[in-house]
A and B are shown apart, each in its own frame.
Chain A
């Protein structure tokens, strides 16, 4: 069997970036939530807010640490597997990624320690400021990353000379055509992720009857937030899709499973796209709906996949179905948010066991939606790495052989398995450990490091601090 380094490198990158992406998505939302809780505590002085903040900051610490550990690998992926891409785009991507690191450094240097270890040691105003700065920092970090990714989708502000990009206009390159849409879409996704996880954990607490008062507040807040954001995400997603139609019509054609350029294109509820045959099997369609959504006119013209040669088309089946998973998750989120609104009458929201169980289950939904969304946008760009400028084939490391990529792919899989299993297991212990605020401890044997903020034991039966 011939191992293709390009395909294997794509799988490897997809794997490590997917594994990494779930952590920042979660921490961005959670950091803002923690800042909000600190703000509410600062304003009202109600201890319930502080209890919630102290609990969620522990969860934030563990997830943040896992994000950092998995992120180190990302800094080297570009060079190991895509060295031609790294070299060609270095004038733009290099500074952007470096700025992301610099932002993260600045954040860690200044405010993360105060947020994690400052309880009872610094004035509440300072603590609130640190929480705000950490949440701002997570946004600035994602700003650089999403700008880089958007530039790969909609390149701008560069000259392409002898296979090498030179930036001629930084602001055009950074604020490229798809960036505002992608950033907004991703920011809301982060809030939805944070919201559904907090709602799910609060629901679990209510189900077992622990810390009922604080968790009622948390649940109520989340449900209001989700009621606004879940529908808003659908609107922003639609705008993002229209922007993609303008700049990357082939990607949208793959999302819609639309082969022929046609007016009044149908929306496919189900189909089995077949790239070999350049057609779909088993279509179930709603007439004209795709044109209506994409062009806001039922007879609008939607470009098809056959505008480009088959070898220039993305993996249609994969993009088509990833898109449907994302949309389905989005619709379920909207439905749950509205059911929550309905249950608020006579306080059933906090008592309805089936609904609380549903919320527990929904904690993982946003992660699937986020990953599916990234699959759509990244696989949909294929075979381009920098859209219409550099293909994956041109970008891959020339010296790479298939078995080298396979070896490291298996290696990363095993490493991440250990990280993920340990981290997730520990996270569940932190969550089950409950909201008993820990006494500010004077032993400074630990650094101001993320995981040190949580003191649950990893394998003791009793949850207690091992280090006295």
Chain B
């Protein structure tokens, strides 16, 4: 065991990057998911305005995560992307349509409804695909060495469809609690109304997945039922967060529902990682197998350690600048 283990550092960096992406892009994708159910066009304006200043900063974590994976854990990159080939395409297409809708919806009057469709449809497709990725990850991948040997549709199973739908519900919950935080009046009242329904949907979804997972994955079954004391801490914490959301909504608190939803996601994410640890590409490849050459890891680490604090600072600053409620026509 070295004093400073590069692979562990990179596992932390990439893990952190993916978590940042899920928590942050999650709520702006969620806003898109809620779009068809919004009470009126004014509510849609408010919702879009609430995420407009920050969404592309949120998405940059995805690109950084992708490039970082290639550099630090190339086996993950070269197995997961071919395995999820069609899903990756759909996700990118969804994100692109969403991105242009963000820019052009406000610049458009006659065709605004088309941009609504692009924004919402892109959000649904991208979220569902990300949920499918999570499900496929739990299932594991057919590999020989560092090559994916499965078929084009291995990622599409009843289980992954459930994880996809569960993530749609989960991001919608993030979007709804974010809307509570950022809006007032009727829009906020609507967000308060839908949050409990979404929470129930999320709990049902996560519950089905938790019951289902031991059946699709022996390794997890082994892990869960042999280390009982340790691994039940994450679902318990996640349930505490859910109870807290419920309470905060019934008390009409504004900030806590969103924070508690972030907590719900965080503990679910950590629970998933620890269920699989140290496997990075289940069922065969550990983080040590997937790692690139230490020289390459070190070469990139220098730049990343320099830039990540700047990106975090910039992110914090943008959220600070755009704090508070969205008014008609934007922030004031």
A interface vs B, CB < 8 Å?
65, 68-69, 72-73, 75-76, 78-80, 83-84, 86-87, 90-95, 97-102, 105-106, 108-110, 166-167, 170, 397-401, 404, 407-408, 411-412, 415, 418-419, 422-423, 426, 443-449, 451-452, 455-460, 466-468
Contacts and interface: CB of A to CB of B under 8 A. Distances in A.
Contact of A447 (B52, B62, B83): B52
> What are the 5 closest A-B residue pairs judged by CB atoms, nearest first?
A445-B330, A94-B71, A90-B74, A79-B81, A447-B53
Given A94-B72, A418-B100, 11 more contacts: A73-B92, A79-B80, A86-B77, A87-B74, A98-B67, A100-B67, A105-B310, A110-B310, A419-B100, A448-B318, A455-B107
A447 B67 contact: no
B85 interface: yes
Interface in B276-324: 292-293, 295-296, 299-300, 303-304, 307, 310-311, 313-314, 318, 321-322
Contacts of A90: 70-71, 74, 77-78, 292, 296
Contact of B64 (A65, A101, A456): A101
A144 to B, nearest CB: 10
Contacts of B62: 72
Give the interface size class of chain B. Answer: 35 or more
Main secondary structure of the interface of B (DSSP, over half): helix
A411 to B, nearest CB: 6
Contact of A87 (B86, B146, B330): B146
A412 to B, nearest CB: 7
Interface of B: 49, 52-57, 59-60, 62-64, 66-68, 70-72, 74-75, 77-83, 85-86, 88-89, 92-93, 95-97, 99-100, 103-104, 106-111, 146-152, 292-293, 295-296, 299-300, 303-304, 307, 310-311, 313-314, 318, 321-322, 329-331
B60 A398 contact: no
8 contacts: A79-B77, A86-B74, A91-B293, A97-B70, A98-B300, A101-B67, A449-B52, A466-B108
Given A80-B88, A445-B329, A459-B111, A167 B307 contact: no
Nearest to A408: B89
Nearest to B310: A109
Contact of B78 (A84, A105, A422): A84
B70 A407 contact: no
B147 A412 contact: no
B60 A466 contact: no
Contacts of A426: 104, 107
Given A399-B82, A404-B152, A75 B53 contact: no
Contacts of B310: 105-106, 109-110
A78 B52 CA distance: 30
Given A167-B295, A443-B330, A458 B107 contact: yes
B304 A98 contact: yes
Given A83-B148, A445-B329, A422 B70 contact: no
A105 B295 contact: no
Contacts of B293: 91, 166-167
A83 B78 contact: yes
B107 A456 contact: yes
A412 B108 CA distance: 25
Given A65-B103, A399-B83, A87 B296 contact: no
Contact of A446 (B52, B85, B100): B52
A418 B103 CA distance: 14
A398 B143 CA distance: 11
Contacts of B111: 458-459
Contacts of B68: 98
Contacts of B292: 90-91, 94
B4 to A, nearest CB: 18
Given A445-B52, A447-B56, A457-B108, A86 B70 contact: yes
Contacts of B72: 94
B93 A415 contact: yes
B97 A399 contact: no
A105 B307 contact: yes
Contacts of A95: 71, 296, 299-300
For A65, A97, A445, the residue with the greatest tally of chain B CB atoms inside 10 Å of its CB is A445
A95 B89 CA distance: 24
B119 to A, nearest CB: 13
Nearest to B55: A447
Contacts of B104: 422, 426, 451, 458
Contact of B92 (A72, A92, A93, A110): A72
Given A399-B82, A422-B104, A467 B321 contact: no
Residue from B72, B314, B318 with most neighbouring chain A CB atoms (10 Å): B314
Nearest to A80: B81
B147 A399 contact: yes
A223 B303 CA distance: 40
A87 B75 contact: yes
Contacts of B77: 79, 83, 86-87, 90, 94
B255 to A, nearest CB: 21
Nearest to A452: B103
A83 B79 contact: yes
Contact of B81 (A83, A98, A452, A467): A83
Contacts of B318: 447-448
A459 B110 CA distance: 7
Centre residue among A95, A422, A446, A447 by max chain B CB count within 10 A: A95
Contact of B307 (A102, A407, A418): A102
A101 B71 CA distance: 12
Most A CB atoms within 10 A — which of B60, B106, B152, B330? B106
Contacts of A445: 49, 52-53, 329-331
Nearest to A456: B107
A98 B55 CA distance: 21
B64 to A, nearest CB: 6
B308 to A, nearest CB: 9
A99 B103 contact: no
B89 A411 contact: yes
A466 B41 CA distance: 15
A76 B69 CA distance: 11
A445 B326 CA distance: 9
B67 A404 contact: no
B326 to A, nearest CB: 8
Contacts of B54: 447
Nearest to A89: B74
Contacts of B314: 109-110
A399 B150 contact: yes
A170 B314 CA distance: 31
A98 B147 contact: no
Q: Residue among A91, A97, A98, A457 with the most chain B CB within 10 A?
A: A98
B88 A76 contact: yes
Nearest to B93: A415
